[in-house]
Amino acid sequence: MNPTLTVKSQVTVPKEIRRFLGIGPGERITFEPMPDGRVAIAPAEPRKPDAEDPFERLKGSGKRGTSTEKIMRATRGDDWNK
């Protein structure tokens, strides 16, 4: 992984690193210079346990049974599709 610095001094954080840090678009990160010349990058906010996939906890929670047509009739009336 060797991203290139743009003319505006921007760099794209690789997907593997974003996933590891649990960060996404619009989230703030911090940079900390280390004594050995390296720089540490970390999320500005504490990492959330389910930050890697926010939909993981919802898997399998959807219930089937009511058709779309029944829902439309219940919410918009019998002539919803006319």
- Amino acid in position 65: G
Q: How many residues appear in the chain?
A: 82
Positive or negative, the CA dihedral 28, 6, 37, 19 is positive
Res 74 pLDDT > 80:
yes
Q: Which tens digits make up the pLDDT trace of 12-41?
A: 999 999 988 888 888 999 999 999 999 999
Indicate the CATH number for domain 1-46.
Answer: 2.10.260.10
Contact indicator for 75, 49 with CB cutoff of 8 Å? no
Please give the model's pTM, rounded to 2 decimal places.
0.51
Q: Domain locations in the chain?
A: 1-46
Question: φ and ψ at 30, to 5 degrees?
Answer: -120, 150
